[in-house]
A and B are shown apart, each in its own frame.
Chain A
Amino acid sequence: MTIASSSPPSRLPLGDATGAGTDRRTARRAAAREERGDGRLAAVFIAPALLGFLVFLLWPTLRGVYLSFTRFNLLTPAEWVGLDNYVRMVHDPIFWDSMGVTVEYVLVNIGVQTVSALAIAVLLQRLTQSAVLRGIVLTPYLMSNVVAGIVWLWILDTQLGIGNEIIAGLGLDRVPFLADETWAVPTIALINVWRHVGYTALLLFAGLMAIPNDMYEAAKVDGASEWRMFRRITMPLLRPVLAVVLIMTVIGSFQVFDTVAVTTAGGPANATNVLQYYIYGAAFGRFQFGYASAMSVALLVVLSAITVLQYRLTRAGQSDLG
């Protein structure tokens, strides 16, 4: 940043701007400064953020890609092995299994969450716009995934959980929600719906508030039902917002880890071994940082592809309004 090295000190004592002459001079000086740019000052202002960006975002990203081509156990220096990790990944049945589990999780999680969030948002828009209700709906979002996971682990406990008490009270068989290979993934997906649905609903609600109320009034005069208004007004006009929210939530959903770690730890029998959990195990359980990095790159590629695809399919950039 040498351009500004000749500029006057950027801080001027405020006190000497008393006479008209000084006034003009400071003004002139300010104008000159404006022309010359604020290189040195900008360097100071940008430095901490740029440092953080380079050291903790850009460098790790490049390093993550580099590590995926190495054998690395943290203790000895990384050793270049070319595509070995990727070859291994393609032939690793647990990797594919874990990819499958993750996709199943995402489908249940996003499917239920999007439909419920849309329902809540529309209820909040058409039924009541109570701020209190919006607050209540958001409350679970303030809890960590760990808290949400543990609370539901307790509620759904086969013997003592209130959830299973209710099921037993209805005369049905108790369900070992988190200990059963079939139930575990959908259960975790629904626990995370509980935590995130309010947040998603409020995002959609914000989108709904942008739809002019006149349109609903006009439709009502024409005798349209709520359902018809939902299909003909709400859905088309909300589509761009819904698309952005979908992309955001799908990307978040693919990174599921916390809830699995505290409820099932990947079990029973790898039934909930989601990709991020498998990656964590490879890195911190078996110290295969190279292989773990390769799988991270694979996840990154999948996420990027989904983003592009979803953006195309949902035409997120365009609005039907106007």
Chain B
Amino acid sequence: MAAVADTTTVRRVRRRISPGRALAWAVMAAIVLITLLPFYWILRTALSSNDALAAHPGDVLPVGATTGGFERALGLQSAEEAIAQGGSGGGLRFWRYLVNSVVVSTLITVCQIFFSAMAAYAFARLRWRGREAVFGLFLAGLMVPAIFTLLPNFVLVKQLGLVDNLLGVALPTMFMTPFAVFFLRQFFMNVPREVEEAALLDGAGKVRIFFRLMLPMASTPLLTLGLLTYITAWNDYFWPLMVSYSDSSRVLTVALAIFRAQTPQSGYDWSGLMAATLIAALPMLVLFGCFARRIVGSISFTGIK
């Protein structure tokens, strides 16, 4: 991204790496290291055995290499075997929580984005009485920190009998977030009216226009928003902690915290804990691998109003 107007002489002067620039690169390298090393350390610990970890805490490579940690995290070891290897024998089965996390995050993302898109279209392009008033109400909703609604929402979900149920975990964010509505409304408002009018003249109804024209046109913002929603839903801890008590509704974040709390007499089962952490983190890393450019790019236009 060097300035286009540079003459060769200026460029030659800039080629010489100044001490300041070298220092800046060193800082950047340090930032990259601090950012990425913990990920390596998760992997290294997950592949080590607990005994060897205690004996060689500083070794760079896995020590006493074993997949025991993963077996414990996935509930493949018997309790005796797990305890012998430094686990708690608590019998957590992370494949189960993985499925729960996928179900909850998918349910939240698909429903929230779809319903928000419908509402956004109604706000942007349909004419109806009370539109501005309802929109103002949604706008006010942005001001309430999410955390404030958690306690009353728990009371509500309990009254609905949906505690410890995957639907209960998904419910509060399943219908909309004010942000998603605003974000998509902004997009729909920028679609040229002529596009819609042409379709109307062809006799298409507004329902058809929404599904056949507007949604496909919005595929880019929809995907972007979907990715961010999925990541947020996947990483949520506080709300699932309140409403899930057993395996039937437990998601990865909650299971991970329970695994961490089940400390065996001899000390933490670091190998198993890091294996579980990796299982919880891996899907997001894969998602990032596939959509990195889009996720990185999305922050510039979703973050700032």
CB of A79 within 8 Å of the partner chain: no
- Which residue of B118, B152, B238 is within 8 Å of A64 (Cβ)? B152
Q: With the chains together, A55 CA to B172 CA distance in Å?
A: 8
Q: Which residues of A contact B270 (CB under 8 A)?
A: 154, 157, 160
Measured CB to CB, the nearest residue on chain B to A38 is B126
* In the complex, B192 has a CB within 8 A of chain A: no
Q: Which residues of B contact A166 (CB under 8 A)?
A: 58
- Stretch of A81-89, A90-98, A181-189, A202-210 lying at the B interface: A202-210
Q: Would you call A169 and B58 a contact (CB within 8 A)? A: yes
- Residue on B with the closest CB to A36? B127
Q: Is the CB of A56 within 8 A of B20?
A: no
The CA of A12 and the CA of B25, in the complex, are separated in Å by 63
| A209 in contact with B141 (CB, 8 Å) | no
Chain B interface residue count, Cβ-Cβ cutoff 8 angstroms: 106
Q: A41-B206, A53-B138, A206-B303 known; A127 and B145 CB under 8 Å?
A: no
Q: What is the CA–CA distance of A199 and B141 in the complex, to the nearest angstrom?
A: 24
A262 cross-chain contacts in B, Cβ below 8 A: 256-257, 260
Please tell me if the beta carbons of B141 and A203 are within 8 angstroms of each other in the complex: no
CB atoms of A74 and B129 under 8 A apart? no
A194 and B149 within 8 A (CB): no
Q: Is A154 in contact with B115, judged by CB distance below 8 angstroms?
A: no
Of residues 135 through 151 on chain B, the ones whose CB sits less than 8 Å from some CB of chain A are 137-138, 141, 143-149, 151
Pick from A30, A147, A258, A261: contact of B201, CB under 8 Å: A30
Within A18-53, which residues are at the interface with B (CB < 8 Å)?
Answer: 23, 26-27, 30, 34, 37-39, 41-43, 45-46, 48-53
Cα A16 to Cα B205 in complex, Å, equals 13
Within 8 A of B (CB), among A108-131: 119-120, 123, 126-129, 131
**In the complex, chain B residues whose CB is within 8 Å of the CB of A299:** 145, 147-148
Complex Cα spacing A276 to B201, Å: 56
A150 at the interface (CB under 8 A from B): yes
Task: Tell me whether A319 is interfacial, beta carbon within 8 Å.
Answer: no
- A interface majority secondary structure: helix
User: Are A161 and B122 neighbours in the complex by a CB distance under 8 Å?
Assistant: no
Closest CB of chain A to B94's CB: distance in Å? 13
Contact of B202 with A165 in the complex, beta carbons under 8 Å: no
Report whether B149 and A147 are in contact in the complex, using a CB–CB cutoff of 8 Å: no
Contact between A127 and B24 (Cβ–Cβ < 8 Å)? yes
Query: In the complex the two chains form, is A296's CB within 8 Å of B119's CB?
Result: no
> In the assembled complex, how far is the CB of residue B153 from the closest CB belonging to chain A, in whole angstroms?
5
Question: Given A41-B206, A59-B156, A289-B155 in contact, is the A202-B300 Cβ separation under 8 Å?
Answer: yes
Q: Are B152 and A50 in contact (CB-based, < 8 A)?
A: no
Would you call B151 and A283 a contact (CB within 8 A)? yes
Q: How far is the CB of A193 from chain B (nearest CB, A)?
A: 10
Q: How far is the CB of B245 from chain A (nearest CB, A)?
A: 11
B115 engages A49 (CB within 8 Å): yes
Kindly identify which residue among A39, A50, A63, A151 contacts B277, using a CB–CB cutoff of 8 Å. Answer: A151
A37-B128 contact given A14-B203, A154-B274, CB 8 Å threshold: yes
**Contact digits for B252-263, partner A, Cβ 8 Å, 1 yes 0 no:** 110011001000
Can you show 11 pairs from A to B with CB atoms below 8 A apart? A12-B203, A23-B201, A52-B174, A127-B24, A129-B1, A145-B237, A146-B257, A150-B260, A152-B38, A166-B58, A194-B35
Contacts A59-B152, A150-B260 supplied; 5 other A-B pairs, CB < 8 Å = A13-B203, A49-B118, A56-B175, A257-B237, A284-B242
**Interface of B toward A, CB cutoff 8 Å:** 1, 3, 5, 20-21, 24-25, 27-28, 31-32, 34-36, 38-39, 41-42, 45, 53-54, 57-58, 111, 115-116, 118-119, 121-123, 126-129, 131, 134, 137-138, 141, 143-149, 151-156, 158, 171-176, 178, 181, 200-208, 210, 231, 234-238, 241-242, 252-253, 256-257, 260, 268, 270, 273-274, 277, 280-281, 284-285, 287-288, 292-293, 295-296, 299-301, 303-305
